[in-house]
Structure 1
Amino acid sequence: MRISQVTGPRRSEIVESPDPVPTADQVLVDVLACGVCTSDRAPWRSGPGDGDPIRLGHEMVGRIVALGSPDSVWRVGDVVTGLGVRASPNVR
């Protein structure tokens, strides 16, 4: 997968990374669109504080491409939106 990460003040780069494998309570989402909210403005302007690149844009919409558990309430192909964080598997 490709990831955009902030490497310095108002500077970013695209890097390649292996696709993650979802665990039992996770799904893997192919991101179709991603928003940038006001919480991303300060890190974009100042860059990573500790020198390690940071990744912005946690408000996304995408299609599920892999399930961590066959018992998930989600299905491959479902279009989902969220904050890109772990959520309860019972939230739909």
Structure 2
Amino acid sequence: MKKYTVEEISNWIVRKLSVKLNLPTSAIRLDKDILDYGLDSMEALGMVGEIEALIGVEIPATSVWDYPTISQLAQFIHDEAPVI
């Protein structure tokens, strides 16, 4: 399993939001609350599941609420992911 950089994780989240919300990636800011883009609770939980699959580590379901911006969430994910 690869150890992703904070930038790679941020870019992955931006791409996911872009596709899910039909927005250009340039419209998504790293310092804006993810939920401010209009994700509902189920979509946010789905994103947590996709992140877990990406990094191979279970993270709290509340991660999107505990680390509300893309920058904060990416840093948390980076810190939680194992080095392999």
Higher Cα Rg: structure 1 or 2? 1
Q: Which has the higher helix share?
A: 2
User: Is the strand fraction higher in 1 or 2?
Assistant: 1
Say whether the fold is shared (TM-score over 0.5).
no
TM-score by length of 1: 0.29
